């Protein structure tokens, strides 16, 4: 049981370190996630909305992500879930 907990912790830390070590990866992941959330382009013949004018920049919101707190939270949740799983066996 302890090996699953240790494996979860090691993988959580490793993934967070890899994201920080590869230059530009957080930006690429952010753009990819934004593309997933973007509305689909209008189909031919569909009326364009007021924000679809050419040359107008798309509205963007700057999001601050406290990555250190996310790592700590991820580790705490990993430990908690593994302990619950251990207790329910």
Show the domain range for 17. 1-26
On the question of pLDDT at 53 being above 60, the answer is no
Dist CA 45 CA 33 (whole Å): 28
pTM higher than the cut 0.75: no
> Considering the domain boundaries, does residue 78 fall inside one?
no
Question: CA distances (Å), 16 to each of 11, 40, 46, 52, in order?
Answer: 8, 31, 43, 37
On the question of pLDDT at 51 being above 60, the answer is no
Number of domains in the chain: 1
> Considering the domain boundaries, does residue 1 fall inside one?
yes
Q: In the predicted model, what is the mean pLDDT of residues 47-52?
A: 55
Dist CA 47 CA 42 (whole Å): 8
> Considering the domain boundaries, does residue 37 fall inside one?
no
> Considering the domain boundaries, does residue 10 fall inside one?
yes
Dist CA 52 CA 57 (whole Å): 9
Dist CA 35 CA 57 (whole Å): 15
Q: How high is the pLDDT of residue 42?
A: 66
> Considering the domain boundaries, does residue 19 fall inside one?
yes
> Considering the domain boundaries, does residue 2 fall inside one?
yes
Position 64 confidence tier, pLDDT thresholds 50, 70, 90: low
């Amino acid at each position: 049981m302890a090996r699953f907990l240790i494996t979860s912790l090691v993988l959580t830390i490793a993934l967070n370190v890899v994201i920080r070590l590869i230059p530009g990866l957080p930006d690429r992941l952010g753009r990819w996630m934004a593309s997933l959330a973007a509305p689909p382009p209008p189909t031919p013949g569909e009326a364009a909305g007021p924000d679809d004018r050419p040359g107008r920049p798309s509205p963007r919101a700057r999001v601050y992500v406290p990555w250190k707190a996310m790592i700590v939270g991820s580790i705490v949740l990993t430990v908690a879930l593994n302990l619950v799983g251990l207790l329910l066996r």
